[in-house]
Amino acid sequence: MGIRLDDVNKRIIHALMGDARNTSAPMIAEEVGVSPATIRNRINQLEEAGVISGYHANVDFDAADEMLTTLYVGTAPIEERARLAQQARTITGVVNVREFVAGQENLHVLAVGDDVESLHDVTRELTSLGVTIDDEKVVRTEQFQAYHPFGPTETHQQFSDYISLAGGNEVVELTVDDDAPIAGLTLEQAGREGILEDGVLVVSIERDDTVLTPQGGSEIQAGDILTVLSRGGFSNETFEVFETEIE
């Protein structure tokens, strides 16, 4: 099952990579500009597609109980690499296995032990499986961080969901900024004053987890999540209607 990594999905992944334990759907929703329900649905889709395969604690075993962490750099026959990687995971003490597309040093195994002898046991078991150990390195520290290109950029990203329709029509879901030109106006006023371009239609308003049906007298408020249809596509000027004006 494939899934498109649009801006919302990328921001979700970035947030969860940074701190999955202390990051909630409402927190991500506030940062991205969509509803918490949208974030929860997207996370479920990412999990079902296998893009997010799990959530793991980063443990400093040396700090926990002065345990030793060792990286084994090994070589497995290419035709046996996948099977040996799976078998290596069953060895007591092994916490991570990585396969590489290479002929040599194509299997990296991370293991934790109480003492040097327990790590020697890992070496012996890997060797008995048919893995040639090329090197062993004691791991001093290991640090993780989110993938920066998936995070927020200096350019304000206003829209989340984007759909391109036949005939050049486009639909986006976007959030109304504070002090945006359309904030505080009814749709009728926005149209009459030329703030909404011809061919731009607000098809739904989401406010406080309630979806409203737009009418001429519907007032647009800051923080509203709008689904907007544009006949012929969106221009930068169209998006500026929903964004804070920059002096």
**pLDDT tens per residue, range 15-48:** 999 888 889 999 998 888 788 888 898 899 999 9
Predicted pLDDT of residue 165: 61
How does pLDDT run across 154-195, given as a tens digit for each residue? 444 444 455 656 666 788 888 888 888 999 999 999 999 999
How does pLDDT run across 225-246, given as a tens digit for each residue? 888 888 877 777 788 888 865 4
CA distance 196 to 99: 54
Contact 46, 14 (CB under 8 A): no
How does pLDDT run across 53-86, given as a tens digit for each residue? 888 888 888 787 788 999 999 999 999 999 999 9
Per 3-state DSSP, the chain is made up of helix, strand and coil in percentages (nearest 5) of 35, 25, 45
pTM reported for the whole predicted model: 0.56
CA distance 190 to 51: 41
Domains of the chain in start order, with CATH, are 7-55 (1.10.10.10), 61-138 (3.30.70.920), 159-240 (3.30.70.1450)
Average per-residue pLDDT in the chain? 86
